[in-house]
Amino acid sequence: MALRRPETLTTAVASYIKDAIVRGEFQPGARLPEVALAMELNTSRGTVREALRTVADGGLIQIIPRRGVFVSQLSVRATWEISSLRALLEPYASRLALEASGSDPAMQAEVAAAFDVLRKAVRTADPTTVADADVGFHRAVFRRCGHDMLLTRLDELQVLSRRIVLTNQISSADAPTLIAQHEPIAEAVKLRDPELLEAAVRAHVIEAGELLMTRMAPLEPNRAKRSDPDSFGLGRWPSGTRPHPRRGASSNRSGGGADT
Going residue by residue through the chain (260 aa), what tens digit of pLDDT does each one get?
Answer: 545 544 689 999 999 999 888 888 888 889 999 999 999 999 999 999 999 999 998 888 999 998 999 998 888 888 999 999 999 999 999 999 999 999 999 999 999 999 999 999 988 878 888 889 999 999 999 999 999 999 999 999 999 898 888 877 666 667 667 888 899 999 999 999 999 999 999 999 998 888 888 888 877 766 544 445 555 556 677 754 444 444 333 333 333 334 56
Closest by Cα among 136, 132, 149, 58 to 96: 149
Instruction: Check if the beta carbon of residue 19 is closer than 8 Å to that of residue 166.
Output: no
Q: Identify whether 229 is preceded by a cis peptide bond (ω within 30 of 0).
A: no
- pLDDT at residue number 97: 98
Q: Which helix (H) or strand (E) holds 68?
A: strand 68-71
| Helices and strands: H and E segment counts in the chain | 9, 2
Q: Which helix (H) or strand (E) holds 71?
A: strand 68-71
Map out the domains of the chain with their CATH numbers.
9-71 (1.10.10.10), 76-232 (1.20.120.530)
Instruction: Tell me how far CA of residue 106 lies from CA of 110, 113, 132, in angstroms.
Output: 6, 11, 21
Closest by Cα among 74, 159, 174 to 126: 174
